């Protein structure tokens, strides 16, 4: 199934109108994940998300606290420019492109985010030392989610 752009916008409007913090649709051909970017949207109840995982409100609160702690540490956060799957290497089973302690330069490829079967290079927005890799290889990432801390 292929979603047309106007259909995607219609889904976004419905999610926004329903005051949902996030929405996921998956079938065998497509995965559409939306996350409302503002703090005033709150899920009305626990829901079922990808892979059948039940997300409870207290779990979401724990993730928010974790995100706040991450944001308060010194350094620059390299964030994901899209929703997708993060890969630390450019080849299956390969060495990570970036590890804690590595020196990186602006524009250097740090990792890959696969979105809609396209591999997208994540390039450093900052030069410095990688203090932390904040996601694991193969982990689903959201738009704006911190991937690396560079000091």
| Per-residue pLDDT reduced to its tens digit, 99-140 | 999 999 999 999 999 988 889 999 999 999 999 999 999 999
Lookup: tokens for 109: 């490829």
pTM > 0.85: no
Dihedral angle of Cα 110, 103, 69, 138, to the nearest 10 degrees? 30
51-85 pLDDT tens trace: 444 445 555 555 555 556 666 678 899 999 999 99
- Tell me 17's DSSP state: H
Give the separation between CA 104 and CA 126, rounded to whole angstroms: 8
Write down the pLDDT at residue 87: 95
């Amino acid at each position: 199934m292929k979603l047309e752009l106007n259909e995607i916008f219609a889904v976004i409007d419905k999610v926004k109108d329903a005051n949902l913090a996030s929405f996921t649709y998956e079938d065998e051909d497509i995965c559409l994940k939306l996350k409302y970017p503002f703090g005033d949207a709150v899920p009305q109840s626990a829901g079922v998300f990808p892979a059948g995982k039940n997300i409870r409100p207290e779990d979401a609160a724990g993730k928010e606290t974790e995100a706040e702690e991450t944001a308060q540490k010194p350094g620059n956060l390299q964030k994901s420019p899209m929703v997708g799957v993060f890969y630390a290497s450019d080849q299956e089973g390969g060495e990570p492109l970036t590890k804690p302690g590595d020196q990186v330069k602006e524009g250097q490829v740090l990792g890959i985010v696969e979105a809609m079967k396209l591999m997208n290079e994540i390039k450093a927005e900052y030069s410095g030392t990688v203090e932390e890799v904040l996601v694991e290889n193969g982990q689903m990432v959201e738009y704006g989610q911190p991937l690396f801390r560079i000091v």
